[in-house]
Every structure is written in structure tokens, then in C-alpha cells.
Amino acid sequence: MSKLRFGAGIWHFATYVDRYATDGYGEPRNVIEAIDLAGKVRDLSVVDINYPFFGGEFSNAEIKAALDRNKLGVIGITPEIYTREFRKGAFTNPDPGIRRRAHELITEAAQVVRDFGADYVKLWPGQDGWDYPFQVDHGALWKNSLDGVGRLASENPDLKFVIEYKPREPRVHMSFDSLARTLLGIEKIGLPNVGILLDFGHAIFGGESAADSAQMAIDYGRLFGMDVNDNYRSWDDDLVAGSLHPIELFEFFHVLRKNNWDGVWQLDQFPFREDSVATADHAIDFLKAVDRGLEALDLKALRKAQEEHDAITALRIAQKALFGAF
């Protein structure tokens, strides 16, 4: 088995509120409590942490102490540029004061990345986009998106900035909505420290092949991170990785292995009603099986089948390797 590192968004261990259960799906937890839960997961080594820290006023030292006692590191810091303050956008907000506030918040998050020795600042501009025809000037919206990211990357050349694209939600149309659009934007920005965090669920929700999207991001040298989860393709359900599309997930990891991509295998799941520790353990067990399946994959036979575009033979080879790994 290859040497793997597993991670998770710290929100995996929080409790959630939606428009139905407005009182939440459990008792509220703060970030320290979430870190302590994450520490109970077998084989979890890093977490992605929201900034500002949720559930109270906590210093970096207090967060570091919680991480240390749970033997966890930090892979990324995700500034919350999608909350009420940014409901009309962060990079694209019509109010220049709010755009400036987004820049300041992300700059603060960049320093937290340095303080924790994390890999990147993760940008998920969920409120940047539009909902109705004629609502925005599309050229101006796109320019503000690229200018906002580009300015941050140029001011912090020592750090990586990763953009996590998603087709929609909370905006009906998000500015960074697909691999192709995000990659075009990054190439236009033209800086080496801007890349993509490819969320498997967002890719398939958007009608993409996650394996194909990964290959394209790698070809351009822009795949800086990834998240895995699953959904029914009609919404970003953030279900357990491999629960619905195991073969597509297997192909995704095959592409990563084929290209010697050795980043963290990161969970981005939302166990609304499930035990968060058990859910993470189960997902990591599945990912370990995926890794065993990759080791068992008959690459010579697979290459021959792919050269001939022999779908049935290729699928038989993949299924034998994956399902024989359990």
C-alpha cells in the first residue's frame, strides 16, 4: 500500500443548521470540540479549518494546543467569505467596502496559514455569482473575481491559493462554476501560486467526469488539492465518499496515481444525522480499499483496453481490482 495522508474539513465534526432544522441537527460545537472529535478518527492526520474560528474567541495558540494533543496538522485555512456580510458577493460585491473587507479577511487567513505551517489558503467564493438574467454585468463580475484573487496571490507570493469551484449553491450561478472556467481564470491571472482544489462531488454535480477534470488540472500544473464526497448529481449532498459512485471515484484516484499526484486525500462530508467520527472512519476505510484496488489494477491490460476504447474490458478490469480489494 502506498503511503497516504488523510484529511478532513473541520466542519465534518461540527453540527449543522438548515432552513428546516433551524435549531440545528445537534448541540452546537466550537472549533476546539470539533478538533477533539477529529482526533478520535483513525488515520486522520490533517484538517482544513474555517477562519474566523467558529464557536467563540480562540487564539492561534489555543487552536495549536488542541491540534497538538490530537496529533493533527493543518492542511488549509478557509476564510468565511460566504456568510451574511458577503451575501451579495466577496470579490464581486457591488459595495467596494465589502470587497475590501473580503480582501482583509483573506489576508488575515493567509497569516494563519503561515502560523500553522499549512499548505494553502482555500477560496470558496460561494456568494460570488448571480441569480437572475440581467442582474449583473458579466464582464465586470468576472474581472472583479480575477482581480480579487490575483491581488491576494501577488501580495502573498510565498503562499498557495486554491479555488474550489462549484456549479451553484448558494448562488444560482457561481462565478467559479466549473473546471474549465476556473482554469481559464487562473491562466488569465497568470501567477504560479494560484491553483484548483478539485471537489469530486462538485465535479459530478456539474456534469463533469472528475477523472477528466483532474487530468486537465494536472496537465496545466494547477491541481493543488482535492476533496472527496458523493452525491446523486442533482445537488451537493456531501455524502460519504464512494457511497454512490465508487467506480468513478476509483477512476479519479487512478488518474491521480498515474500522474504521481501525492497530495492529501481529503474528506469534505456533512454527516447531518450520522456520527461524525464513525462516518469519517468508514470513508477512510473505503479510501484504503481504493488504494489497495489501485495496487491490484492490471495496468498493462487496462492500457491495451483503453488503446482500443474497449469499454467492457476496461470496466471489468477496474471492477475486479476495486471490488476485490474489500
- DSSP track, 110-154: HHHHHHHT-SEEEE--TT-EESSTTSS-HHHHHHHHHHHHHHHHH
Domain range for 149 is 6-296
| CA distance between the termini of the chain | 14
Residue 45, judged by CB atoms within 10 A of its CB (0-12, 13-18, 19+), counts as: middle
The alpha carbon of 295 is separated from its chain's Cα centroid by a whole number of angstroms, namely 25
Query: Is pLDDT above 80 for 16?
Result: yes
Rounded mean pLDDT, 200-224: 98
Structural domain count, the chain = 1
DSSP code of 239? B
* Within a domain: 317: no
In angstroms, the CA 169 to CA 163 distance is 16
Quick: pLDDT tens for 220-245: 999 999 999 999 999 999 999 999 99
Amino acid at 92: T
* Within a domain: 49: yes
Quick: pLDDT tens for 54-64: 999 999 999 99
* Within a domain: 164: yes
Here the CATH number for the domain that contains residue 256 is: 3.20.20.150
Quick: pLDDT tens for 125-163: 999 999 999 999 999 999 999 999 999 999 999 999 999
Query: Is pLDDT above 60 for 1?
Result: no
Query: Is pLDDT above 90 for 326?
Result: no
Quick: pLDDT tens for 101-112: 999 999 999 999
Average pLDDT, the chain: 97
- 279 pLDDT tier (thresholds 50, 70, 90): very high
Rounded mean pLDDT, 283-299: 98
191-202 as b/e: b if 16+ CB within 10 A: eebbbbbbbbbb
* Within a domain: 302: no
* Within a domain: 247: yes
* Within a domain: 60: yes
Rounded mean pLDDT, 157-175: 98
According to the model, what pLDDT value does residue 2 have? 59
* Within a domain: 129: yes
Q: What is the bridge-based pairing of β-strands 160-164 and 223-228? A: unpaired
| The Cα angle at residue 277 between residues 274 and 280, in degrees rounded to 5 | 90
* Within a domain: 84: yes
- 76 pLDDT tier (thresholds 50, 70, 90): very high
